[in-house]
A and B are shown apart, each in its own frame.
Chain A
């Protein structure tokens, strides 16, 4: 597995890593060859489009805002007027920056419902005023200023950040930031490897993705306002896992390692 990933990381400088990752770990044996071919086609195509861009980002943004203004903002003026005065979200959510996992989309959220932190691999680091002021500020504001009632950490399938964590150490390629950041999940990876020494590929990836959510929930407890919120029964911690391959969503309670709900159909 280490060998595979070495090749994979070298190539990733030139190609779309996700496509390569998919090619290396196909979902079914019989699909393997087709998948590799499709993804190579995709890489070639994406390189070609760089030379002939039909995509206008300004138009995309303009159209997007117009759509929101017509279908939402202008349609429900009372709702948006109240919201403009103040926000009272019940949730603080941590989600990955991955373009496919916006909680607004996948949980059908309304404006005003969730204060949202998004970063690589939906990590919550331990309390650290030097290294992690960004996440600290979000948690501090959400609890002390907004008095959120629930903190939800959402992991997801095929997470590039977790994939990188699993592939470390990497003697060939180093990054300025990515490796230090994903190592927040190091204890989760160690725990999974200890409990499932023979796990590999997609199975290992999924296990670490879920364990990393539990690790982040644990790290939340290193913040005093989180601890007192829980002690006063004013704050609840939840984990979530979005599998966009199968199309389901699980939730986890903190003192429970088993999922409480599993949306299949």
Chain B
């Protein structure tokens, strides 16, 4: 994924770029402050350029405002993105993509948050074929419930029974809006949203535990603890699926929890150890 930052400057960036390409300096990037200083210097030396400069600056300002307003073209973004993938990956790896077209055999089922900053393809460099991925608010695995949670159940069922994945990894992350929402639900349990709070309540046992164990911590530190504890709740919920239990007990499947901290740039990984011993008496 090299070259991402360059792409960031040139196509539909949400932030205004501070550095601009300058044709005159042979494509070398110059800073906006330097460009303005250069113009000021020139104008202080040449009075007769003032009127011309004023008109051009007005035009440039209008252009930049207009460009900003209509900048985002989603269809173009999709088209350009796919073209790049096709050229750099798809066409350069015909054997891999030929095999993948016939079938997938990923080793991982991954639960990750829908947050735009935590895609497993980015943070763990997963390539096509490696990981069957479920993404939802706050990377929750709900307990077995054929009425309320058919979505998660279907993904786990398919991954474990059909694809026979060997590992399930549940990845929490820093600054998770869903966990913040969970921590903000008032003690009497009243909710204001249609879905969000009801969904994140899957993690309620984590909230209770964290508040009981660490009631002296700051709100943001509590949230971090809850992000990790909610992963453990999800791992426990995985065991409510009989096909998961069976595969784990038969040592065909391992369950792991993880936490990606994008403030500090770190990644934690831990096991859930679960087994059933032989008869004790």
User: Could you tell me which A residues sit within 8 Å of B by CB distance?
Assistant: 12-13, 16-19, 21-22, 35, 38-39, 42, 46, 50, 53, 55, 57-58, 60-65, 67-69, 71-76, 79-80, 82-84, 87-91, 97-102, 104-120, 123, 125, 129-142, 145, 149-150, 152, 157-158, 160-161, 175-178, 180-182, 236, 238, 240, 242, 244-245, 247-249, 251, 260-261, 263
Contact = CB atoms under 8 A, between A and B. Distances in A.
Nearest to A264: B86
Contacts of B120: 102
Contact of B134 (A119, A141, A180): A119
Contact of A100 (B118, B124, B128, B136): B128
Contacts of A145: 177
Contact of A75 (B5, B89, B100, B127): B5
B82 A72 contact: no
Interface stretch (B26-34, B36-44, B59-67, B153-161): B153-161
A120 B81 contact: no
Contacts of A142: 114
Contacts of B103: 16, 18-19, 21-22, 39, 42
A117 B258 contact: no
Nearest to A243: B101
B77 to A, nearest CB: 8
Contacts of A109: 81, 119
B148 A130 contact: yes
A55 B154 contact: no
A111 B119 contact: yes
A98 B105 contact: no
A244 B74 contact: no
B249 interface: no
Interface string B82-101: 11111001110000010011
26 contacts: A16-B162, A57-B167, A62-B269, A72-B1, A76-B5, A90-B74, A97-B155, A98-B104, A100-B129, A102-B126, A105-B127, A111-B122, A112-B14, A117-B135, A119-B134, A120-B151, A120-B155, A120-B158, A129-B194, A134-B136, A152-B78, A161-B158, A244-B101, A247-B86, A247-B91, A251-B78
Nearest to A73: B265
Contact of B122 (A68, A76, A263): A68
B230 interface: no
Nearest 7 interchain pairs by C-beta: A18-B103, A177-B153, A136-B195, A64-B124, A107-B81, A181-B154, A137-B199
Contacts of B125: 63-65, 67-68
A161 B265 CA distance: 36
Interface string B170-192: 00001101100000000000000
B114 A244 contact: no
Given A65-B267, A100-B129, A131-B147, 17 more contacts: A16-B162, A22-B102, A72-B1, A79-B5, A99-B128, A99-B130, A105-B127, A111-B118, A111-B122, A112-B116, A116-B116, A117-B114, A123-B151, A177-B157, A244-B100, A244-B101, A251-B79
Contact of B4 (A76, A120, A136): A76
Contacts of B252: 50
Contacts of B75: 238, 251, 260-261
